[in-house]
Amino acid sequence: MSKRRIIVTTAVLALLAGLIYLQVRTWRKFDWHRFIAATQHTSKGYLVGGIALVYADYLLRAVRWKILLQPMCETKSSRLIAPTMIGFTGMALLGRPGEFIRPYLIARKENLKMSSQLAVWTVERIFDMAAFGLIMAINILWSAEELRRLPGFLEAPQKQVGRWHLSSFALFELSGLALLLLVAVIAAVAFWIRRNPATASAFFRRIFGVFSPRVGEGAYHRVHAFGEGLNTIKNFKSFLQVSGLSIAIWLVIGFAYVSVTHAYHRLAHFTLAAVLLLTAGSVMGGILQLPVVGGGSQLATIAILKQIMLPDRPGMAELATSCGIMLWLITFMSVIPAGLILAHFERVSLLKLEEESQQEEVKALEEG
């Protein structure tokens, strides 16, 4: 294990340990019998439906990558399904170091350079961020009346912001406006990079070079890769297709969360508008993830369920914990069986792929 990975893993472990400690202090009266009962009495049909939606999401991701490959090569979405699912299996089992398995496998399968697939991966991340931000912003503003009635917002005291006294939900609505602004800024920056890639790359190198020359060079190459990646959008039609697929991908994930929460009869009243809050927490908490055991995703969804979505009554902490863990298993880990089977048929090793993909990423950046 490299020194960098040891430092990152140690930092993540420390943060997760702190979060777990805070949760344990909050749940001193945690009843494991209620937790087991809540888990055992789930509707298995809804859980299977959640897995089916997650698998459908991988198919949509393969279709989107195929569209982004059009300027480089003509391929079929079916050829990209195995690399996609193997790649997400790598992320589930190996953590963030396995993130580049997918672009590496696709580059090898389609006889393309790793640098070109890193560019596609970068563009894919930007579209994901913009699509999810747009969905969340519209959800917060459109479903304001419904979300305002959630227990955590109803019971929270007002907070003073300067001269104004604002409710917790009013601050939450402001976050929706901020998300819309962020999406607009991302779109504007992407357009600028697309029109002036050299100028934009040099600008970000100067900005991040203030911290260290190495960080500045890394920013330069990332922005340059993103500028190249934008060339993978063949025309305006392709842009609309990728945008539509990105929105569909996150809506399908949202419905997968609805299916899992509805497996618990005490949560069957949750709508898509409310459950999208759990999706947001999972996405943000996913930054603090450890291989196999996860961590941040479960803690974030459990905290949102307990503090915002569920009333403070006996048994709610156990129900929130069970649902948070189940959401993680269905949305993050359910790909593992199919991914391992596909890896066997493709005759690849995840550990070897992780090492090779990391080497190819470094090589691609150096060549850039």
DSSP percent split of the chain into helix, strand, coil, nearest 5: 80, 5, 20
- Domain presence at residue 2: no
**Strand, coil or helix: 149:** coil
- Domain presence at residue 79: yes
CB 273 within 8 A of CB 147: yes
Domain that holds residue 289: 42-195+233-367
pLDDT attached to residue 257? 96
CA quadruple 354, 358, 363, 368: dihedral, nearest 10: 120
- Domain presence at residue 255: yes
- Domain presence at residue 226: no
pLDDT attached to residue 337? 94
- Domain presence at residue 54: yes
E-strand stretches of the chain: 159-161, 164-166, 289-290, 294-295
- What distance in Å separates the CA atoms of residue 123 and residue 70, rounded to the nearest whole number? 14
pLDDT attached to residue 21? 57
**pLDDT tens column, 100-109:** 899 999 999 9
- Domain presence at residue 325: yes
Q: What is the domain count for the chain?
A: 1
Chunked mean pLDDT (size 10), the chain, 368 residues? 59 59 54 73 93 97 94 91 95 82 93 86 87 89 88 75 71 80 83 83 86 82 74 83 96 96 92 91 68 65 87 81 90 93 90 82 67
Residue in the structure block whose two tokens are 């993680």: 328
For the chain, the straight-line distance linking the first and the last C-alpha, in angstroms and rounded, comes to 26
E-strand stretches of 199-322: 289-290, 294-295
- Domain presence at residue 208: no
- Domain presence at residue 222: no
